Amino acid sequence: MLGLYILYEILWPWLYLFLTSMVCGWIYHGIFWIVGYLKLRSVIKRKQKEREEGFRKLEQQSRFQLNEEHEKILNLSDEELIKQLQTRRLKATEVLEAFIAKALKVTRKLNSITEFIPQAEEWARELDELKEVRGPFHGLPISVKDNCWVKGMDSSIGLAKYLYQPVAKDSAIVQCYKDLGAVPFCKTNVPQTLLSFGCQNPVFGVTKNNLNPDLTPGGSSGGESSLIGAGGSRLGLGSDIGGSVRIPAHFCGVAGFKGTSQRISGVGFRGSLPNVIGLLGVPGIFAQNAKMLAKASKHMLEDGKQNKYDPVALPLPWNEQMFSSKRKLRIGYFTSLPYFPLLGDCEEVTLNAKKALESLGHELVPFEMPDSFKMMDMVFDFGFADKGMHMVENWKNEPIPPALLVNFLICKAPAWFRRILVWIMNARPHTQFLYSQITRRVEDIRAGTEKSGYMWRRMGDRKAMIEEIKRSVLRNLGVGFYLHLHSHFQQFQPLKHAWILFT
């Protein structure tokens, strides 16, 4: 009885105070979350309304309604289109109107474009008024990925908190192509935060694949790949850190180029992990064919154009002698990584490319990459070195699309909970029902470098792995190029792909 008395008279008031404080704290934070969520939802609805009104306004103008003259322009090859712009047989404004008309039709079907760039018409008119053409891409409309800066436009990466924050200047790559005469005319869709193999966000919706609208175009440059694949653009600017150019190009049947780190200036891009160490994102280029990619790369890298806008960009000019060389090449190839098992006809596609290259006289040499699970361990250690804190802050009060739900929950879960989850999923009675590869992949859930000393060690592991690849591939085999499919899986349903990264 004495114990109950002490519990009731002494401990219960303190326990009551503690519980009351906890409940009040939860209510307080809940109210602020609801207010913040509703505020961002209203911002999203406002943007969606303005976007729809903008599309309708363009569609109501006869010059942006697809017609026979537009089709003649759109049916020209890249070479013929550029030639007619260079010789002034076609005006920049005529070509721009044709591509806006086509892009409108494409985006109504595939939702590729977030916004059209209002200044594009003014830029095209200025080009038409010049006595001489501005450059090799004079008057060519180009599309730009959402996270790539265009002066006066948002780069929201699908997050409401970044809407109505227009950037003050163009990215270095956009400025270079404008100097070459190109006309940026639209921004294209991305998955929320960029970190997804699909293309969905609550602001601009789901982008679909141009080859099959029931499938995703890939991510994160899915808007670019689907627009170019459907003929709404001939040249597009994207970015890539873990396949964001290569995967969409693979899914949509277009050509994509991810340059070597620092080869193309990355100044003027909004990143999903701006302070990450060990993972290097780079700009990329999209086109309908490799010939156009080569042309776009060549002209941008000539004459130190990038250094005008980025003084630390590598001043390496285009090597025409190497590009035009007819010497036979020794090319390494591989067909699979255990972390990404092959599906469908991916291996067949790679082997067909191998045969095509061999028929041209080149030598193809098979090789194996280092342990892909160790590679991905490093990727997740670097990407989640902060235990997902930056991502959680980005997601604060934001609606989470189905495609990003798993990513969100993993980032939101405390580190101790992730460790317990990994321990449960790796327990022997459970794993006998699972593939060994999947149980190894579960380890990535608890990834993250907790201490600076561990970060140093992982950077050392990264350096050692790069040296191993150089030694085994470049030196021992004497290979100067390699061939593989970056994406080892087929396209998947737009709303059913969140598990790909983590299961």
pLDDT tens, residue by residue, 277-316: 899 899 999 999 999 999 999 999 998 899 999 998 888 8
244, 272, 297, 487: the active-site residue: 244
Output the six-digit token pair for 356: 């095509």
Percent of the chain scoring above 90 in pLDDT: 58
Annotated active-site residue 145? The verdict is yes
When comparing pLDDT for 333 and 55, which is higher? Answer: 55
* pLDDT at residue 475, as a whole number: 65
Mean pLDDT of 264-281: 92
220, 226, 233, 297: the active-site residue: 220
CB 224 within 8 A of CB 103: no
Assigned fold of 42-320: Amidase signature (AS) enzymes (3.90.1300)
433 — pLDDT class (breaks 50, 70, 90): very low
pLDDT tens, residue by residue, 131-148: 999 999 999 999 999 999
Annotated active-site residue 105? The verdict is no
d(CA 245, CA 481): 19
**Is the pLDDT confidence value at 412 over 60?**
yes
Annotated active-site residue 187? The verdict is no
479 — pLDDT class (breaks 50, 70, 90): low
CB 103 within 8 A of CB 58: no
47, 102, 105, 145: the active-site residue: 145
CB 274 within 8 A of CB 121: no
Long-range contacts of 166-173 (CB under 8 A, 24+ apart): 167/268, 169/268, 170/268, 171/265, 171/267, 171/268, 171/269, 171/283, 172/265, 172/266, 172/267, 172/268, 172/306, 172/309, 172/310, 172/313, 173/148, 173/237, 173/264, 173/265, 173/268, 173/283, 173/300, 173/306
For the chain, the structural domain boundaries read 42-320, 372-501
**Is the pLDDT confidence value at 3 over 80?**
no
Residue 31 burial (CB count, 10 A):
10
CB 305 within 8 A of CB 179: yes
Output the six-digit token pair for 2: 């004495």
